[in-house]
Amino acid sequence: MSLIVQKFGGTSVANAERVFNVARIITETHQAGNGVVAVVSAQGDTTDDLIEKAKEINPAASKREMDVLLSTGEQISMALVAMAIQKMGFPVVSLTGQQAGMRTDNTYGNARINRIDTERIQSELGKGKIVIIAGFQGLNRYDDITTLGRGGSDTTAVAFAAALNADLCQIYTDVDGVYTADPRIVKDAHKLDEISYDEMLELASLGAQVLHNRSVEMAKRYNVDLEVLSSFKKNQGTKVKEVVHVEKMLIRGVARDNDVARISIIGLPDQPGTAFRIFSLLAKSRINVDIILQSIGRDGTKDVSFTVGKGCLDEALTILNENLPGLGGRAITHDSNISKVSIVGAGMATNAGVAATMFEALYEAGINIQMISTSEIKVSVLIDLDEAERAVKVVHNAFHFGE
């Protein structure tokens, strides 16, 4: 008997018909002789509706109370999915994050998982029950509800798969796998059968919007076999695992991320510790920084530019402006009208010309590059938001994915 963890997103449980569709997938897996733990998100627009309710009352509500509010969305879903499974005649129990043993740190709205106490789940599985768990939520050491923030439900599923030593973690979503580019933008994009953790990680963090990078990071760390597949089509999905590539260069895909804003601090003293002080200030407020560029010092000063998620821009600017005198900078500029377009693939670093091919395609399309960042398996460029879709198309075309 295998143990399979399945995760169903908000669109997969959006109404009664879809709840039964999910119940069918779960019970078929159960009937095939597997233990099943299913993690569910809030139905469709529930989370947005709850946020709207909160905003109407207090747009600056504490994150603790927001978590109390938002965690109800997944609790509603888990009960409904369990009821559908009961209707189909299978033994089932639904568990909140707390009941399922999810223990987190105290960062309301964006908590990190500390540990999972699997005792209750193991006991329910031992009784032959299908276990439905509310994604996205846990309990901190003050006995208060926390939510895991963006990508939290994917991360919940992978964390339970790791803690339970599951054989497979299936992420059911509204797309049927990982594509070489967003199929809504690039018509001849095609689905990948498999992809490595590292490649998926770059694709996820670059806005492929299939799997959140936190979940992939965790899958890689605990070596959890992932599968991304559609809850609507019965196609084979994309497997995410530790793939060993041969020397051949493999560009996996082109991704775009519009949730990015650039901040630049101008005229900083050209001395050690400047970058450290900037980024430790931001880290204290749990603001994640992505691409960082530092200009070469000139006239005793230098500039530091970096990107943050659009949602963190205001908070980051407030913190930096307050501390600008201490940092010794002259001015702060920012731009949220930008997009990050990236190519991802193992072996990129050892294959000359990959970045050049990308830059050439953008140049020929007349698209200006504002910042460049490279790693072992990706090349990212920051460009104007208005040009992002066109950039994805021309770059996808340049690498002949369609052929």
Residues contributing to the site for a second copy (CB under 8 A): 16, 19-20, 50, 53-54, 56-58, 60-62, 64-66, 68-69, 71-72, 75-76, 78-80, 82-84, 86-87, 93-94, 96, 99, 120, 143-145
Q: For residues 380 and 293, give the distance between their C-alpha atoms in angstroms, rounded to a whole number.
A: 13
Q: How far is the CB of 53 from a second copy (least distance, A)?
A: 6
Q: How far is the CB of 67 from a second copy (least distance, A)?
A: 9
**End-to-end CA, the chain:** 41
Minimum CB distance to a second copy smaller for 6 or for 96: 96
- Residue type for position 42: A
How much of the chain is helix, strand and coil, in % rounded to 5?
35, 25, 35
Q: How far is the CB of 11 from a second copy (least distance, A)?
A: 17
Minimum CB distance to a second copy smaller for 87 or for 310: 87
Q: For residues 66 and 110, give the distance between their C-alpha atoms in angstroms, rounded to a whole number.
A: 11
CA-based nearest residue to 129, from 92, 96, 100, 99: 92
Q: How far is the CB of 68 from a second copy (least distance, A)?
A: 4
Kindly write down the DSSP assignment for every residue of 255-321, as one continuous string: EEE---EEEEEEEEESSTTHHHHHHHHHHHTT--EEEEEEPPPBTTEEEEEEEE-GGGHHHHHHHHH
Q: How far is the CB of 114 from a second copy (least distance, A)?
A: 19
Q: How far is the CB of 137 from a second copy (least distance, A)?
A: 12
Residue 132 φ then ψ, to 5°: -110, 125
Q: How far is the CB of 34 from a second copy (least distance, A)?
A: 22
Kindly write down the DSSP assignment for every residue of 323-375, as one continuous string: HHHHHT-SEEEEE-SEEEEEEE-TT-TTSTTHHHHHHHHHHHTTPPP-EEEE-
Paired strand residues for 6: 38, 170
Locate 124 and state its tokens: 């329910």
Q: How far is the CB of 35 from a second copy (least distance, A)?
A: 20
Minimum CB distance to a second copy smaller for 71 or for 196: 71
Residue 191 φ then ψ, to 5°: -80, 140
Quickly count: other Cβ atoms within 10 Å of residue 74's Cβ: 29
Tell me the CA distances in angstroms from 247 to 289, 311, 350, one per residue in order: 32, 40, 9
- Residue type for position 123: S
Report helix, strand or coil for 128. Answer: coil
